[in-house]
Structure 1
């Protein structure tokens, strides 16, 4: 299968990097600090959603801003503790791309996203974070904003995601979607293409964009 794109838009956590161990540590501690029971916590989907939305599902509105600031601090401080690592294929795939043809689009705050990306040496020219939007994934706003910043028609963008909410956002934006089965089972992911991770793909830069292919 070959996919042609003018711009490639990547989720970060679970797509480019793995932060699952850090997320588990930090959110478990956070839940304990705010008196959230294991039963309450277990019903919430953490992955691929902005922290403010998760906190709003669990806590009274009046303490949500404080609680969001707290989880951000916990996660940023955990980065040096081995809180993030590159997923297979990330470095080689990104190195094959021109800097102005790709962006990172994450549900994390800018402070947290930059901490995680800096830890693994990824320096995107374009970075869309929770701070930049009013509606997070699965709303298409984050991906539409990235397309505007890159100056590319959404229909000519490809979204790389590991979470159902992010894939839904990409589809709603009118973009081609590629799912990476890094945090969910393949059958849970609705996308134009599903692969295990970026090591399964190759990118060839052409005069008109980027040709994405599944490795044989």
Structure 2
């Protein structure tokens, strides 16, 4: 029996990836890196910030922290007037009517997660930050901890993601997972293990 819906944040609850891409473009351009859409999908999307700057610039420690802080502050400046992915509110209303709980499982830093949720007017019963558990997606740990906190097995949850790393994280925990086509191609998401793809959450209403 289905008991919970678990959502990624960026690219899932709202199409924030264009804003993240712009923020990365602005902070990386002075360092000689050009961030186009393909580069963003391959090297940045769905990854933790420390991994991104270590991979792209071989930066760690204080220098990495300063760059990450600058990028995320710029993202929050850009992320005004966010709109939810179409159908999200209707899906949450139907879930509530059926007695389901829901939560957000994200690699996003705490300040960003609270900023996006506040902008969307959302108050998830569960907010699981990868930085709290020590490992981020694609590692299954964030979803495993979310299930432990909800005290349910994976088959009693549904996950919604938008990146291959997010899909792998949820599927690696055994949760049936659907992927939003906000940033990645259908083939890539299905290869990562998604049961199906969605263009918006109106298409998810029949899953409940």
TM-score range, shorter chain: 0.7 to 0.9
2:169, 2:39 → 1: CA distance?
Answer: 24
Q: TM-score, normalised by structure 2?
A: 0.86
SS at match of 2:178: strand
Gaps of 5+ in 1: 204-211
Q: Which structure has the highest strand share of the two?
A: 1
Q: CA offsets, 1:169-197, max 9 Å, x none?
A: 11111111112222222222121222222
Question: Equivalent residues in 2 for 1:131-210 (5 A)?
Answer: 131-190=131-190, 191-202=194-205
Answer yes or no: is 1:61 the counterpart of 2:64: no
- Residue 100 of structure 1 and its aligned partner are, at CA, apart by 6.4
Give yes or no for contact 1:19–1:85 (8 Å, CA) kept in 2: no
Q: Which structure has the highest helix share of the two?
A: 2
Change (3 A) 1:100 1:109: farther
The alignment yields a C-alpha RMSD, in angstroms, of 2.2
- Residue 114 of structure 1 and its aligned partner are, at CA, apart by 0.9
- Residue 56 of structure 1 and its aligned partner are, at CA, apart by 1.6
Change (3 A) 1:112 1:91: same
Question: Equivalent residues in 2 for 1:18-57 (5 A)?
Answer: 18-33=15-30, 35-38=31-34, 42=39, 44-57=42-55
